[in-house]
């Protein structure tokens, strides 16, 4: 009986911890490893880099995938990209931009290059159907 009680306690503890960690992650960053929610929760952003892994000093392109919170692809949005390294008080060394809408919520973005190792933030501002929101992709190179 004692053993059962102990194992139950452990299970509860583990479950609670997992839930707490998951909640904390969601609360802090609105993202997991592959998805980034925009600040107001309107859009979810994913990206796929043509250069994998991303290395410094190489210009390359990404495909951005934009969905609504409900999981519907966001069509023909106006997207602007900026960012930089907050710790070094400088922006991106290039001006990446969306060059083509590929359909199904996918957008080709070209002209990314990162010239330092460290923590980068890429801000993706999405305007669709009169609703504007910005997702911040945190990235460590």
Partner 1 sequence: MPKSFTYRCALVLAAIAAAAWLPVAAAEPWTDEEAEILRSLSLNSLESLPAAGGNAVADSPAVARFGHRLFFDRRLSSNGGIACATCHQPERRFTDGLQKGVAVGMSKRNTPSIVGAAYSPWLYWDGRKDSLWSQALSPLEDPNEHGSNRAQIVAVVAADAAYRATYESLFGAMPALADNETVDRVFSNIGKAIAAYERLLMPGPSRFDRYVEAVTAGDRERQAELFDADEIEGLRLYVGKAECTQCHNGPLLTNHEFHNTGVIAFPGEVPDKGRASGVRLVLADPFNCLGAFSDASRANCAELEFVRTGPELVGAFRTPSLRNLAGTAPYMHKGQLATLAAALQHYNDAPPAMIGHSELAPLKLNSRELQQLEAFLLTLDAPLATAGEWLRPPPD
DSSP 8-class letter at 31? B
Of 1, 102, 116, residue with least CA distance to 48 = 102
Q: Does 140 bind partner 1 (CB under 8 A)?
A: no
Distance between CA atoms of residues 128 and 106, nearest Å: 14
Burial code of 4-21, b = ≥16 C-beta within 10 A, e = fewer?
Answer: eeeeeeeeeeeeeeeeee
Q: Near partner 1 by CB under 8 A, which window of 23-31, 33-41, 68-76, 116-124?
A: 116-124
Q: Does 52 bind partner 1 (CB under 8 A)?
A: no
Q: Does 123 bind partner 1 (CB under 8 A)?
A: no
Strand order, beta sheet including 60-68: 36-37, 43-49, 60-68, 106-112, 97-103
Q: Does 29 bind partner 1 (CB under 8 A)?
A: no
First to last CA, the chain: 52
Cβ at position 115, least distance to partner 1 in Å: 4
Binds partner 1 (CB under 8 A): choice among 23, 40, 95, 104: 95
Q: Does 91 bind partner 1 (CB under 8 A)?
A: yes
The token duo for 22 is 């998951």
Q: Near partner 1 by CB under 8 A, which window of 1-9, 31-39, 88-96, 100-108?
A: 88-96
Q: Does 100 bind partner 1 (CB under 8 A)?
A: no
Binds partner 1 (CB under 8 A): choice among 80, 94, 106, 121: 94
Binding region for partner 1 (CB under 8 A): 56-57, 59, 88-97, 110-111, 113, 115-118
């Amino acid at each position: 009986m004692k053993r059962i009680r102990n194992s139950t306690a452990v299970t509860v503890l583990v479950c609670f911890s997992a839930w707490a960690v998951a909640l904390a992650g969601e609360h802090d960053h609105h993202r997991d490893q592959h998805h980034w929610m925009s600040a107001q929760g309107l859009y979810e952003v994913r990206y796929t880099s043509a250069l994998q892994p991303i290395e410094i000093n190489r210009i390359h392109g990404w495909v951005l995938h934009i969905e609504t919170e409900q999981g519907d692809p966001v069509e023909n949005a106006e997207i602007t990209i900026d960012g930089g390294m907050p710790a070094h008080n400088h922006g991106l060394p290039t001006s990446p931009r969306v060059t083509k809408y590929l359909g199904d919520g996918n957008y080709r973005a070209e002209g990314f290059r990162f010239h330092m190792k460290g923590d980068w933030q890429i801000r993706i501002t999405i305007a669709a159907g009169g609703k504007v929101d910005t997702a911040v992709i945190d990235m460590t190179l």
